[in-house]
Amino acid sequence: MDAVVAVRELGGAARRNHIVALVGRREFDRAVRQRQITRERTGVYTSGTSYERVLAAQLRGVPSHLTAAWRWNLGLARFPEIVDITVPRRSTHRVVPPGVRLHYSDLRSDEVVEGVTSPVRTIVDCLRAAPAPLALAVVEDALRTERVEADALRAQIAARRGARSGRARRILGWVDSRAASPLESALRGILLDADITCFQPQFEVRVGPARIVTVDLGDPKSGVLLEADSFLWHGQREQLARDAVRYDELVASGYRVLRFATEHVAERGPWVLETILRTLELSRR
């Protein structure tokens, strides 16, 4: 038996030790090397499909919300820790696999594309249920890259009813066409969710007598500036040196500059918010 057949017999997704027990380590290593089977998450391998689609098939549902946003490459820096799957309203599941969150809704045929919820439906779901910073990152990235039409999205949100629909309209109202990156959007979402509205995206400040610098977020009143630093743009030595010069010149010009990495925005939202509030208070003094 080869590794591909073994994975299929194990339900389409299996852990390494279960596959090795059937085919041996040499066959397993060969299949991984030739990309016949792929590791989707730690210790979980699939053949020709994704981990969340295997789970969805087992639960008779469709990957949705942040899980679908990841598959559409909308605004997320990493695969979500929880797999979101939408199942029909009358579905009953006695056992739900660990790390899976079920949502109950009867999806229309046009709301499922390539085995996951469509981009528009995915964004609507995120606006209604995902953490506000991530929801804002998803919707602004979709609009910036023209993956969805703004009018179509607004019509979908306007047609929704219920408490979560009000939340969706609130976050949609935060959308700003000046936003330049998902990480910047998520950082701004942390602030807006706390009703802090003083920061403007892609804020221009003067450094020296003639130079204008654009920062991710800036408060014109306090002079506090925020930079969202992803490794993708700041991971090279040359870029690091340029960033150091830029930071030093901003501070030397009298601005208070805070820099936040992807991990801070994604995992330490309360600390990010507290740090910004403390800095704003210092500037007001």
From 17, 32, 49, give the residue that closes a domain. Answer: 49
Same domain assignment for residues 32 and 21? yes
Same domain assignment for residues 210 and 279? yes
* 97 within some domain: yes
Same domain assignment for residues 189 and 270? yes
For the segment 185-230, what is each residue's pLDDT rounded down to a tens digit? 999 999 999 999 999 999 999 887 778 889 999 999 999 999 998 7
Same domain assignment for residues 186 and 91? no
pLDDT of residue 92: 83
The reported pTM is 0.81
* 177 within some domain: no
Distance in angstroms (rounded) separating the CA atoms of residues 269 and 233: 21
Range of the domain at 9: 3-49
* Sequence-distant (≥ 6) Cβ neighbours of residue 279 within 8 angstroms: 224, 256, 258
Let me know: does 116 contact 63? Beta carbons within 8 Å.
yes
Same domain assignment for residues 194 and 271? yes
* 245 within some domain: yes
Residue 202, helix vs strand vs coil: strand
Same domain assignment for residues 45 and 57? no
From 145, 172, 199, give the residue that closes a domain. Answer: 172
What DSSP line would sit under 215-247, residue for residue? EEEE-TTT-EEEEEE-HHHH-SHHHHHHHHHHH
From 141, 172, 203, give the residue that closes a domain. Answer: 172
Q: Which residues pair with 218 in a beta bridge?
A: 200, 225
Percentage above 90 pLDDT, the chain = 55
For the segment 107-159, what is each residue's pLDDT rounded down to a tens digit? 999 999 989 999 999 999 999 999 999 999 999 999 999 999 999 899 989 88
